[in-house]
Amino acid sequence: MRAIFISFTMLLRQIRNDGMLVAVSLASVLAGFFFRFAVPALERILCSSLVVDAVLEPYYRLFDLLLILLAPYMLCFAAAMVMLDEHEQGLTRYLSVTPLQTRGYLISRLGLPAGFSALASMLLIGFFRLTPWNGFILAGTSMLSSLCGFSVSLFLFSCSRNKVEGMAMGKLSGLLMIGLPVPFFLHSSWQYLFSLFPSYWLARYALQGSVAWFLTSLATSSAGMFILYRRVVRKLV
């Protein structure tokens, strides 16, 4: 456990020393300020200009969900970039002869960042939310969002050969969030075309609080993580 903690501390130090990764890690905080203050101001301007009661307000929950998902996405993206840099330097090939081992390395580089990102999501919503949240639903949504972030880091590391490719693939991984707005805009049975995306079920859970949607999001995330995790382990070994 001590080796895992030391490795995680090294990860934070590497992120701190990279200006781009620092900016990526803090992007969710900047987004929180924008959602909390700019969006309501824009809503007032639009309502006044269009002489309507609401324009953006029906989608305030979606802005909250974007913020919840953004923290894990960005933090896990930063962790994946560090992993790709270490792999490119050949550091990961010696894991089997270190006290950390491959499992401990993955916990320190993927598991702990994903876990802390769930707490970060809850803190961000506490400061910047646009809609009221039930505590249990917020905790569940934050946990599911951390699994989405975990999947992103697995995807980036397993599908990229180096840090440059990882940054390019990071744009593609944004498609994993495509299911988030679907329940807000598509109310027919066509929405189930997005049922393979965990973010779709995450959004439905956040809207309705159904345990069934929580479990479905958990199942789809777990299936994707299982496949990607095996690819990551093969790449490290």
Q: Give the CA distances from residue 230 to residues 28, 107, 110, 157, in Å, rounded to whole numbers and listed in that order.
A: 29, 14, 14, 12
Which structural domain range is residue 76 located in? 2-175
Is residue 154, in this structure, part of any structural domain at all? yes
Provide the terminal-to-terminal Cα distance of the chain, rounded to the nearest Å: 21
Total domains in the fold of the chain = 1
Is residue 195, in this structure, part of any structural domain at all? no
Is residue 184, in this structure, part of any structural domain at all? no
pLDDT of residue 237: 72
pTM of the model: 0.90
pLDDT in tens, 156-211: 998 888 888 888 888 777 777 888 999 999 888 888 889 889 999 999 999 998 99
Is residue 30, in this structure, part of any structural domain at all? yes
pLDDT in tens, 120-129: 999 999 999 9
pLDDT of residue 73: 92
pLDDT in tens, 79-122: 999 999 888 887 777 765 677 788 888 898 899 999 999 999 99
Mean pLDDT, range 49-62, rounded to an integer: 90
Q: Give the CA distances from residue 185 to residues 143, 145, 182, 195, in Å, rounded to whole numbers and listed in that order.
A: 24, 20, 5, 15
Is residue 136, in this structure, part of any structural domain at all? yes
Is residue 228, in this structure, part of any structural domain at all? no
Is residue 14, in this structure, part of any structural domain at all? yes
Q: Where are the alpha helices (DSSP H) in 60-134?
A: 60-88, 101-106, 112-128
Is residue 92, in this structure, part of any structural domain at all? yes
> Tokens 């440059």 — which residue?
164
